[in-house]
């Protein structure tokens, strides 16, 4: 139920943002279209079988481990410590011209 | 040599290999099963027979499980490029960036959008729209593979680029040359058709289980017919593209060819090892077994009189055949690296005249650039692991030949409707599933171990590509990945087996697989 409410709120939010941004000429046609797409996903998720929910749980755990743990703590990118491209060029050049 | 942390290089390689091998457990089933599902659904739409709809939905369930567990496992490889292989990542520049960006956009828009329609849209969209979505998922996943394999093909045979010494990056100057690189095209076709073989064997094996259990027999027979036909044509194509790949390897990566055949001394009318064992020293292999006279020359160059270089010819050189020794190439590579250093220094001090001279020397020797990193070292370090390459290659080829016979058998028995009761064949079908996964993994070992130590053929060895990071970090993440991927694999098996066991009365029950 929590998920249903959550999706419902997102739908309202998107519709609100859309209403504010788009010109009135196309507004109602587009809103209907958008509503249909959102409802398509909501009903799809609502009617998902048990194994489907388990799979989504696995995807979320996996994404959390990958992006919130591995990426943040272990894989920040070795060259990210340099601020400019020139610093990166200088560092890699030094690495490439040094024969160990 | 004492300055190279070989432990760091080996752990970084091991981590990449572990990630890639686990990733490749999930990918081929997605690539192949997506087409099988699309074919089954096409039959449903054409005939209107609801049995085909249920058949499609059942396999779609297994496809969904595999897709969900495997999705994004490849992103970890990109994390590793940036952290463990940062010199490489910078060096390859946009040549890797462009295909990967296209792959990302395609995977996201095509697969993500149309997979939702595939699973949620059975009663929401028309039959034709649903079928179109299913085909687009299949085409989209396979096109994603194209971009990744084009990038991999470039590493095996770098082309369509120019090295910029100011930015120390390779810049793409011909996109089409990168995409239609012979190494990339053969690799793509060989890889995707082998994925179709895997998916076909998977479908046949699971269907065989239903026949042994005497459950859902009509569904199982229908699935077997489709998979047998699809698998039969796919294995023919896999063998054909394998031959094409061998020709490309012979031309651009002769050391890989020598390693996979355990060929120490090259010759004209070189023999092909059909079945054998490799012994001898690490870089001086001795092969005993059944050999087919002249076949290696013929398969490599289409002419049995052609010379196939062995490990000795490549390491020590063979002037008669115009082959430079590794020591000569190391000298030229060293010249190129030194010229790059001189160019950078000259540019810094504003000495354009010397910069021009250094640049000319650099360009003249650039094709040997990577060899320079082995200056003062044993040239035998440039020989890959011969035993691993040899056995992986021969296991792959023997299994490939077995799959051809297997599909002929399943094709005949399915069409004559004589599968049921042939328990030996049914059990063989089930046990062929792990064999096809072994063939997939050994295929990648051949491709990647066989080209060692090159990360980019002739231009960048792994010792120059690796980042100078703390080895213990790589070790920690190696075991972390091992744990996460193993857990994912166990989850895949568990959920998949549960769904297969739960599948009852597929021919009559509406609610099997996915949502309605």
Shortest Cα distance, chain B CAs vs residue A58, angstroms:
7
pLDDT digits (tens, 9 = 90+) for B395-423: 999 999 999 999 999 999 988 888 877 89
* pLDDT score, position B11: 95
**Between B141 and B100, whose confidence is greater?**
B141
Burial class (CB in 10 A: 0-12, 13-18, 19+), B511: exposed
Q: pLDDT-based confidence at A93, cuts 50/70/90? A: very high
Domain ranges, residue A90: 2-97
Shortest Cα distance, chain B CAs vs residue A25, angstroms:
27
Min mean pLDDT across B62-76, B226-240, B364-378 is at B62-76
Q: How many domains does chain A have?
A: 1
Residue B58 pLDDT exceeds 80 = yes
Nearest to A96 among B83, B168, B467 (CB): B168
* Contact call for B68 and A40, based on CB within 8 A: no
pLDDT digits (tens, 9 = 90+) for B10-47: 999 999 999 999 999 999 999 999 999 999 999 999 99
Conformation bin of residue B262: beta by default, left when phi > 0, alpha when psi is -120 to 50: left
* pLDDT score, position B21: 95
Nearest to B82 among A40, A41, A75 (CB): A75
C-alpha distance from residue B491 to each of A54, B22, B30, B283 (Å): 10, 14, 17, 42
C-alpha distance from residue A1 to each of A7, A8, A53, A55, B37 (Å): 10, 11, 13, 18, 33
Segment B106-110 shows an average pLDDT of 73
Distance CA B14, CA B18 (A): 6
pLDDT digits (tens, 9 = 90+) for A25-65: 666 666 677 788 888 888 888 888 888 888 989 999 998 99
Shortest Cα distance, chain A CAs vs residue B78, angstroms:
10
* Contact call for B344 and A65, based on CB within 8 A: no
Structure tokens at B450: 């066989």
pLDDT digits (tens, 9 = 90+) for B222-243: 999 999 999 999 999 999 999 9
Structure tokens at B317: 């050189």
How many C-beta neighbours within 10 Å does residue B399 have? Answer: 20
- DSSP secondary structure code for residue A72 in this structure: I
**Residues belonging to chain A with any Cβ–Cβ distance to chain B shorter than 8 Å:** 40-41, 43-45, 47-49, 51-52, 54-56, 58-59, 62-63, 65-66, 70-71, 74-80, 85, 88-89, 92-93, 95-97, 99-100
Question: Best residue in B70, B87, B120, B516 to probe A by mutation, most A CBs within 10 Å?
Answer: B120
Q: Is B70 helix (H, G, I), strand (E, B) or coil?
A: helix
Residue A14 pLDDT exceeds 60 = yes
Structure tokens at B398: 């023997």
Distance CA A26, CA B478 (A): 53
* pLDDT score, position A16: 64
Q: pLDDT-based confidence at A3, cuts 50/70/90? A: very low
Residue B115 pLDDT exceeds 50 = yes
Question: Best residue in B5, B68, B126, B342 to probe A by mutation, most A CBs within 10 Å?
Answer: B68
Distance CA B294, CA B306 (A): 9
* Contact call for A49 and B515, based on CB within 8 A: yes
Shortest Cα distance, chain B CAs vs residue A20, angstroms:
26
User: What residues does each domain of chain B span?
Assistant: 7-253+384-502, 265-383
Nearest to A74 among B120, B477, B498 (CB): B477
Min mean pLDDT across A3-12, B382-391, B425-434, B499-508 is at A3-12
The highest-confidence range among B28-37, B100-109, B172-181, by mean pLDDT, is B28-37
Residues present in chain A in total = 100
Shortest Cα distance, chain B CAs vs residue A21, angstroms:
24
C-alpha distance from residue B498 to each of B312, B501, B502 (Å): 54, 5, 6
């Amino acid at each position: 139920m929590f998920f249903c409410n959550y999706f419902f709120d997102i739908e309202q939010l998107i519709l609100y943002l859309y209403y504010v941004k788009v010109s009135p000429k196309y507004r109602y046609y587009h809103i209907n279209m958008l509503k249909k797409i959102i409802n398509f996903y909501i009903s799809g998720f609502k009617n998902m079988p048990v194994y489907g929910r388990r799979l989504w749980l696995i995807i979320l755990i996996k994404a959390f481990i990958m992006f919130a743990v591995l990426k943040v703590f272990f894989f920040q990118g070795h060259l990210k410590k340099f601020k400019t491209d020139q610093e990166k060029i200088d560092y890699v050049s030094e690495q490439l011209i040094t024969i160990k | 040599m004492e300055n190279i942390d070989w432990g760091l290089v080996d752990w970084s390689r091991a981590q990449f290999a572990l990630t890639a091998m686990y990733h490749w457990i999930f990918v081929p089933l997605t690539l192949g099963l997506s087409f099988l599902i699309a074919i089954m659904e096409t039959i449903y739409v054409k005939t209107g027979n609801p049995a085909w709809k249920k058949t499609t939905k059942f396999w779609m369930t297994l496809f969904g499980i595999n897709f969900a567990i495997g999705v994004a496992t490849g992103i970890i490889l990109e994390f590793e490029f940036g952290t463990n292989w940062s010199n490489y990542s910078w060096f390859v520049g946009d040549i890797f960036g462009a295909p990967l960006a296209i792959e990302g956009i395609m995977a996201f828009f095509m697969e993500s959008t149309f997979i939702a329609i595939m699973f949620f849209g059975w009663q929401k969209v028309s039959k034709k729209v649903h079928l179109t979505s299913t085909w687009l998922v299949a085409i989209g996943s396979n096109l994603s593979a194209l971009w990744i394999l084009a990038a991999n093909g470039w590493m095996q045979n770098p082309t369509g680029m120019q090295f910029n010494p100011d930015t120390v990056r390779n810049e793409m100057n011909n996109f089409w040359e990168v995409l239609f690189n012979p190494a990339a095209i053969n690799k793509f076709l060989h890889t995707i058709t082998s994925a179709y073989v895997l998916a076909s064997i998977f479908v046949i094996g699971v269907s065989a289980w239903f026949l042994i259990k005497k459950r859902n027999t009509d569904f199982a027979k229908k699935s077997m017919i489709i998979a047998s036909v699809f698998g039969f044509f796919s294995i023919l194509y896999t063998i054909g593209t394998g031959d094409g790949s061998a020709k490309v390897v012979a031309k651009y990566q002769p050391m890989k060819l020598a390693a996979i055949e355990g060929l120490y001394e090259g010759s004209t009318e070189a023999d092909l090892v059909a079945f054998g064992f490799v012994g001898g020293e690490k870089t001086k292999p001795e092969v005993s077994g059944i050999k087919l006279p002249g076949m290696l020359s013929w398969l490599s160059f289409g002419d049995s009189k052609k010379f196939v270089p062995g490990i000795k010819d490549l390491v020590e050189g063979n002037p008669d055949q115009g082959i430079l020794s590794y020591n000569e190439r190391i000298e030229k590579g060293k010249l190129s690296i030194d010229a790059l250093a001189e160019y950078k220094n000259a540019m810094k001090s504003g000495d354009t005249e010397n910069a021009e001279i250094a640049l000319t020397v650099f360009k003249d020797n650039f094709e040997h650039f990577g060899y320079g990193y082995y200056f003062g070292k044993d040239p035998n370090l440039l020989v890959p692991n011969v035993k691993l390459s040899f056995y992986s290659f021969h296991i792959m080829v023997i299994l490939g030949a077995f799959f051809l016979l297997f599909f002929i058998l399943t094709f005949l028995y399915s069409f004559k409707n004589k599968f049921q009761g042939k328990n030996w064949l049914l059990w063989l079908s089930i046990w062929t599933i792990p064999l096809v996964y072994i063939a997939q993994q050994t295929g990648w070992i051949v491709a990647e171990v066989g080209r060692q130590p090159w990360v980019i053929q002739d231009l960048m060895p792994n010792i120059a590509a690796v980042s100078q990071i703390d080895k213990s970090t790589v070790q920690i993440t190696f075991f972390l990945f091992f744990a996460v991927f193993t857990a994912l694999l166990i989850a895949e098996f568990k959920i998949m087996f549960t769904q297969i066991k739960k599948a009852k009365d597929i021919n009559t029950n509406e609610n099997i697989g996915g949502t309605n």
